[in-house]
A and B are shown apart, each in its own frame.
Chain A
Amino acid sequence: MSIDIEAVSKTFGSFSALSDVSLKVPSGELVALLGPSGSGKTSLLRIIAGLETPDSGRILFDGVEATNRQVKDRQVGFVFQHYALFRHMTVFDNIAFGLTVKPKKERPGKQEIKDKVHSLLKLIQLEQLADRYPGQLSGGQRQRVALARALAVEPQVLLLDEPFGALDAKVRVELRRWLRRLHDEIHVTSVFVTHDQEEALEVADRIVVMNQGQIEQQGTPSEVYDRPATPFVYDFLGNVNLFKGRVHEGTAQMGGIKLSSPENASANDAPAVGYVRSHDIAIERDSSEGALKAEVRYLLSVGPLVRVDLSLPDGGPIEVDLPRDEADKLGLKVGDQVFARPRKMRVFVDDYQI
């Protein structure tokens, strides 16, 4: 089922959670709503589920207006950050709940429910825990039960509110890969909320970056990561370095580097900020055109990347991530004089403060 969100706004008291948000989620896609806390992503998800009503705007399911449809009639599966399992019911009863509350006419028979629950337990690999209570499960197990419970009613849309947020790092990675595989199998339209960019980049077909109740950018993970549309997206996705300078008619002058910036062709000697990812900077021993003189301040060599903190003569800090072999070749030491060359810089006219 496809979801259309048309010009939805929502305020809580004086706080504007969503302002004029429009979004299309095509059928069968796995979409991530990514943003910092307070960006409105959870409100948007709850509005889709019907747990909140928008102040204005419309929600359409498969092109049919559903703004005022009751939660129970929306056929959405909702997975909560804190699982929200029924604590007085066993795992089996939790998963069967959605089937047992159906009206008599639609309710499947006892055996049918049993078969369905057992096939779901198999899917989440917890067959042997059917008689346990939620309190006796680990966080990862509980979230899988919550997923199975939501899937039992065969929802048209699966909505997940920070589903891995309460889990520890290793379980989180395992579970999100499992979710991705699951989605490849069942292809239910899914929207999940997260503030973890890594999670969104790894799992989603499409990422919607939200900030202050509005959508900053949407696109595939590589579009959003490689071509951020706004300074906010640049800053939110990955490590980024800032260079201050000016831009005039498509040419930017950034602390001694001159580069073309065609998207700012209309700028007239405006103050600008250049954004460079930490892995888009090369470190060289010899001076050359387009490289900035800098001093090595700090080295952290753990894992596949070596983190190098540089400082420019004017005091500005730069963070660089170097592949280990490249760093080894350079043989850097703290206090060395080096030259930093930004390989890729994106310039935004300075109307945005971080």
Chain B
Amino acid sequence: MQVGRVLKKHNQRGGGSTSEPAWVRYLLVTVALIFLALFLLLPLAAVFAQALDKGWEAYLEALKEPDTLSAIRLTLTTAAVCVPLNLFFGIVASWAIAKFNFRGKSFLITLIDLPFSVSPVVSGLIYVLIFGLQGWLGPWLQDHDIKIIFAVPGIILATVFVTFPFVARELIPLMEAQGREEEEAALTLGASGLQTFFRVTFPNIKWGILYGVILCNARAMGEFGAVSVVSGHVRGSTNTIPLQVEILYNEYSYAAAFAVASLLALLALVTLAVKTAAEWKMQQTVTVSEKER
């Protein structure tokens, strides 16, 4: 406390020599704000304005359209499968990476990052190559009457691949920063592995998990490229929300397209809000742990 106060005083005194003149600061802030407004807020506002162009009635009507409803259902199903899968994988992988030393650790980290570095279209094509009719497993799958490409399983597979890194990437640095002493302490006190996870590790990483899940979910619902390649665009059956938006737009039903798009925009806003809250909470836990050092 004492030190903090002294430092603050010192900063105030030294403020004039260390920071830029006022007009430079205002200029920088203004430029940043204009940029944000132009490229982020304006389009967002445009989406909602266009969606509600023909009134609430038309807006709701567009959303009630059977093909759109089916797209919403498919998107929700996809997210409902992908997010728990990647949540499980993310926790397992980051636990292994942060708490144990083993050979090939850095290779595993690189592998987890792979979906970030590959274009989503390529991710989709990989599955077409493997499971498609001309692909490696295509003939066998057809013989056994299993449909993966141009069907729901393909969409889920491609989405899982694309959203693979989100939870793990969020947790690895967090868990590494927290070290493993608390877990070791729990073990010496007689806790089992599961008790250690749920009573010691989980409370320390829960905000990081929430953050990762939110990002993972947003991407799972919004993914276009990879899903577009494997879906086949069958109306009312293999179209997700983003694909439906594109189809509607290409058919010049602008109001309907923007109405559906507004759902994704809403999702983005919710994601942002939860993300900010989670980040704030996480910052708190990290500060506490730093103080403890």
Q: Which residues of A contact B (CB under 8 A)?
A: 49-51, 71-78, 80, 82-88, 97-98, 101-102, 133-135, 142, 146, 149-150, 152-153
Contacts and interface: CB of A to CB of B under 8 A. Distances in A.
The 7 closest A-B pairs by CB, nearest first: A98-B189, A84-B181, A78-B188, A101-B191, A84-B185, A71-B187, A88-B203
A225 B196 CA distance: 43
B151 interface: no
Interface in B249-293: 285, 288-289, 291-293
A186 B199 CA distance: 30
Contacts of B289: 87
A101 B189 CA distance: 8
Contacts, number: 80
A299 to B, nearest CB: 36
B18 interface: no
Nearest to A134: B292
B237 interface: no
A84 B182 contact: yes
Contacts of B190: 72-73, 75, 98, 101-102, 153
B208 to A, nearest CB: 13
15 contacts: A50-B188, A71-B187, A71-B188, A72-B188, A72-B189, A73-B190, A80-B181, A83-B292, A84-B182, A98-B190, A98-B191, A101-B191, A101-B195, A135-B291, A153-B190
A72 B187 contact: yes
B200 interface: yes
Contacts of A77: 188-189
B188 A87 contact: no
B186 interface: yes
Given A49-B188, A153-B190, 4 more contacts: A72-B191, A74-B188, A84-B185, A101-B192
B204 interface: yes
Contact of A150 (B181, B189, B285, B291): B189
A84 B184 contact: yes
Given A87-B288, A134-B292, A135-B292, A78 B204 contact: no
A87 B184 contact: no
Nearest to A71: B187
A160 to B, nearest CB: 12
A51 B184 contact: yes
Contacts of B203: 88
Contacts of B185: 78, 80, 84-86, 146, 149
Interface string B153-190: 00000000000000000000000000001101111111
A146 B200 CA distance: 15
Contact of B184 (A78, A134, A146, A153): A78
